[in-house]
Amino acid sequence: MNTTDTTDTTSTTARGAALREGFIRTYGSAPEGIWRAPGRVNLMGEHTDYNLGFVLPFAIDKNALVAVRRRTANEASPRLLEFASTYGGTTGPLPVTGIELDALAPGNVPGWAAYPAAVAYVLGQLPGVQLSGFELLVDSDVPVGSGLSSSHAIEVGTIVALNDLFGLELDATAMARLTQRAENGFVGAPTGIMDQSASLMSRAEHALFLDCRSLASHTVPLPLAAQDTAVLVIDTRVEHSHVDGGYAARRASCEQAAVALGVESLREITEVALLDRLEPELRRRARHIVTENQRVLDTVKALEASDLREVGRLLRASHVSMRDDYEISCPELDLAVQASLAAGAIGARMTGGGFGGSAIALIAVERIPAASASIRRAFAQAGYAEPSIFTVNAAEGAGRA
């Protein structure tokens, strides 16, 4: 469903057909298959994943399509990896990044190609796994830098493709752990395990409750359609990156707080009063994690009771915590939340790693056109770039397209 004036997402079937044709033009032969991996919206639980806490994301109906063909032993370069993307348009020849499988190392693959290269790198380190070279072409409609996990969609699309093609028989949990290792060790982004898990494990019309310590999970129904309510995404167009210093600094603060409190992770702290011994900045950072973990649990209960008003209250409280305690919001995100609430949203919060990206608003479907116009006016009056505004549905996790 897309009820704003933004262009509807082209169907996965049509995109897949175009991707196949583009693959043939780029590499001279057809792919062995096309795999799909969705982006995600995090409904609740920000920065709790690397603190081994709780998260509540859902996969969205925007995804990365990944086409792959394995190179054969009798080809000129059987261990050559080649990566191309339709990002930037498909009218001319697509630039291809090539590297030998044996030459993969952190830091030696430029740009976006580091994401699929990272997956090949970690798979190649597994005992008994023998990869060949391969050709890969990506087409993604997950907005880049929006906080909707565009990079993890590429990584997940790559790992499900290679898992199938090379018969690795990895389950979803193993693939989530491996893509986290790829992101941390090869790309250099100190992310948790939420984004990959959401892309791999989600189910349509459900959120995914994930315990990031045990990786136990279960789906939670989203009673949105029954209440004529939708999740509206406001992409501020302020791009963020997990590789930048702000994300790493927040993670380091949490680790320092855990050491000072004598626990393995802040997941073990459930009472805010226990944080009083910390110095002020660490106390604020830790307070966000402790209260956010509880908000995840409370949101699950509210959804199970179909109480969207309570969900809205929790969304609002989460944004205040991220803005004031964790300090990962920005003026554009704050305005997106304020304007959404002023236009009648039940609740709103920034979503994703912060320092830019998107906000989400829980809002009645009938209010979306007027709210979208109101948000755009607020951005224009503040002198900000026009946001991209669209609704998202909770979609199925990754698999063959």
Annotated catalytic sites, by residue?
195
Q: Residue 246 burial (CB < 10 Å; 0-12/13-18/19+)?
A: middle
8 A C-beta contact, residue 124 and residue 149:
no
Q: What angle do the packed helices 194-201 and 150-165 form, to 10 degrees?
A: 60
Strands lying side by side in the sheet with 229-235: 347-351, 358-364, 229-235, 388-392
Closest CA relative to residue 158, chosen from 66, 222, 241: 66
Q: CA–CA separation, 274 vs 261, rounded Å?
A: 8
- At a CB cut-off of 8 Å and minimum separation 6, what does 231 contact? 41, 43, 224, 360, 361, 362, 391, 392
> 3-state class of 148 per DSSP?
coil
CB 93, CB 60: distance < 8 Å: no
65 beta partners: 36, 139
Question: Is 209:221 a contact under the CB 8 Å cutoff?
Answer: no
Q: Which residues of 220-244 are buried (b: 16+ CB within 10 A; e: fewer)?
A: bebbbeeeebbbbbbbbbbebbbee
Tokens in use for 323?
A: 């803005």
* Residues in CB range of 364: below 8 A, 6 or more apart: 228, 229, 230, 344, 346
Sign of CA dihedral 196, 201, 203, 207: negative
Half-sphere exposure of 275 (CA within 13 A, CB side): 25
- Whole-Å CA distances, 221 to 2, 106, 226, 293, 359: 21, 40, 11, 19, 22
* Three-state DSSP state, 122: helix
